[in-house]
Chains A and B, each alone.
Chain A
Amino acid sequence: MKSPALRDALFGLVAFLVLAALPLLTTSSALIDFVIRCAALGLFATSLNLLVGYGGMVSFGHGLFFGMGAYSFGIIMQRTGMPIPLAILLTMAVAAMVALAVGAICVRLKEIYFAFVTLAFQMLVHSMIIAWVPVTGGDQGLRGGIPRPSFLGINLADQKQLYLFSAALLVLGLLAMRHIVSSPFGYTLRMVRDNPTRAGFLGVDVYRTRLTAFVLAGVFASLGGVVMSLFVSGAYPEFAFWTMSGEAVFIVMLGGTVAFLGPMVGTVLLLLLNDFVTRVAEHHGLVLGAVILLFALGLRKGLLDFVMDWREARRTRAQAGSAGKDKMAAADKMERVAT
């Protein structure tokens, strides 16, 4: 019997090693760029799924924290030149504070109203970014490049090293979020999602649970923003625009909300679709729209969720005959209910 956390860490390590080995197999910088973008958007989308999938809170304003991460990090680096790890921690702290303030107001609201108020806050922050020209550069974004001084022998101005660094951040970020959702807090969050009233009776502080999830999601979204700002060496108001939130919601739906790695699958899928379709089709809205329709109306759930349900159905059929495995199936079922 191994500890689940240890297993997750092991998977993380393997995943990182595979990613780290990738540059040895290919010389394609486009593939490297692709993985860096996956890291940025994957962290962002997975953090959103903390709210959507595990918390049942559909936020339309999650891009606020992505943009916040990119801008805070960029501004800190341009103005102070502190070591990058410190700047990242500071950025996450800033995001946590903002998430605490915004969340304190938003998480009381239900469903669509929660969605709209988060959207409103995002648009407020977007307007501030546009209007506060001396600090943010206004609609032209943070210009002049983000300095990337070496630290601990790591030079992020080098694309390969930035790649490794992003892959490491991605794996660490995912592990941390994985740890959160499998912790007792994660189970409380799911209970609040499924039946807040009952959770309340059981002595769970619903408001506090939601707020904690909101803050955590904001912090990891800002980490995604940091990776993106490192990639483009700048920060742009589009990062904090509602379309960014829309994209994350879209990714989460595409990949699936139940499986932890659903949003990651969605990220890879969307980026592949995007890169491929914009390359070959003039009317990519038409093509992309048709593909999405096929997904949404055909699968009716995210890809990874669909695959897992399909496998589950197959296994259940296979197990129907063998009574000896009953016990395991029961354990399985319990675990799934808890998820």
Chain B
Amino acid sequence: MDLNALTECLVSTSCIVTQVTSGFIIGMLLFLVAIGLTLIFGVMKIVNFTHGAFYMIGAYLAMTVFQLTESYTLALLGAAVGACLFGIVVERFFMQRIYGGNVLMQLLVCYALVLILDDLVRIIWGPEFKSMGMPDAFRVPPLFIMGGVVPPFYLFLIAAALSIAVIVGLAIARTRFGKTIRAAAHNPSMVSVLGINTGLLFTGVFALGCLLAGLAGGLAAPVRSLTPGMGFSILIESFIVTVIGGMGSILGALVGALLIGLIRTFGALGFPLFTEALMYLAMAVVLIVKPSGLFGREAA
């Protein structure tokens, strides 16, 4: 334990700026993955254990497109669209068969899909870890904001993730699709009675979740090494995020993700050996105090 480092940091603006922004970076990528998880749970009531795999696919696609075209914009697009299309295939062929079924069977199917997808990635891209490399546009010295260090790429990353959050949030609040989603999350049978094609709706929600996860993978690709199975650690952390925030709540996912990001960055200063445990502790405490999560509805 190193409480001195923590208190020293808390009295220095530069340190706070640096740690808060780095907490945001970790949190924002988690948030993009967590939106999908929380939406899919909210609407279809399934815990999508395959979600990390779409993050992985996004990252690998981004790397490949970037190597072919040298354009990071195209790489991001490829990651998002690729993961989304792939998500549609998975949803149509497998997920549709398990909606409303036994929770354990759902888990089993997801587990099998994760095993298969990891191995497919290994066959296509090889077992060794890969690195995409930083796009030239972002290979510039970091900025100094009130004495804190902030790399421009991370500013871009936070901005991109925040604008996506706003767009998705607005879409769900304002558009017809969004209203249907909210209605379906609230009362699925009513939505179906009203003549809405729930099959299509479910595919849409799943595809949206996969698109965002793929995008997160693409955004992470320049700075994280790519390996088959890389989806798993992000999946576990995203679960913690959704559980803390409340399953089904987008605002909850945002708050949960930022909370985890900040716990990581400030925890690394104060409790370098227990940062991981701190996250689980946070989750346990939230669940014990408010079992449905910070922003979850009761009786989930």
Contact = CB atoms under 8 A, between A and B. Distances in A.
Is A–B contact present in the complex under a CB 8 A cutoff? yes
Contacts of B281: 120, 124
A139 B247 CA distance: 33
A286 interface: yes
Contacts of A257: 104
A301 B280 CA distance: 32
Given A117-B284, A283-B123, A292 B103 contact: no
Interface stretch (A77-85, A195-203, A210-218, A246-254): A246-254
B284 A112 contact: no
Contacts of B182: none
Given A290-B116, A292-B111, A293-B112, A116 B105 contact: no
B20 interface: no
Nearest to B105: A296
Interface string A232-276: 000000000010001001101110010000000000000000000
B139 to A, nearest CB: 36
Interface stretch (B9-17, B130-138, B202-210, B270-278): B270-278
Contacts, number: 113
Contacts of B108: 250, 253-254, 292, 295-296
A121 B243 CA distance: 14
Contact of A52 (B97, B104, B287, B291): B104
Interface in B98-119: 98, 101-105, 107-109, 111-116, 118-119
Q: Interface SS of chain B: helix, strand, loop or mixed?
A: helix
A136 B244 CA distance: 31
Contacts of A123: 276-277, 280
Residue of A120, A293, A300 contacting most chain B CB atoms (<10 Å)? A120
A301 B291 contact: no
A124 B280 contact: yes
B288 interface: yes
A286 B115 contact: yes
B118 A285 contact: yes
A98 interface: no
A105 interface: yes
A109 B107 CA distance: 20
Interface of A: 52, 58, 105, 108-113, 116-117, 120-121, 123-124, 127-128, 131, 242, 246, 249-250, 252-254, 257, 283-286, 288-290, 292-293, 295-297, 300-301
Given A290-B116, A292-B112, A300-B102, 16 more contacts: A112-B103, A113-B291, A120-B284, A250-B111, A252-B104, A253-B107, A283-B119, A286-B116, A286-B119, A286-B120, A289-B112, A289-B113, A289-B114, A293-B116, A297-B98, A301-B102
30 contacts: A109-B291, A112-B300, A113-B243, A113-B287, A113-B292, A117-B284, A120-B280, A120-B281, A120-B287, A121-B284, A123-B280, A128-B277, A131-B273, A250-B108, A250-B111, A253-B105, A253-B108, A257-B104, A283-B119, A283-B122, A285-B115, A285-B116, A286-B119, A289-B111, A289-B112, A289-B113, A292-B115, A293-B113, A300-B101, A300-B105
Task: Please give me the 8 A-B residue pairs with the lowest Cβ-Cβ distance, nearest first.
Answer: A289-B115, A289-B116, A292-B112, A285-B119, A285-B115, A127-B277, A286-B119, A289-B112
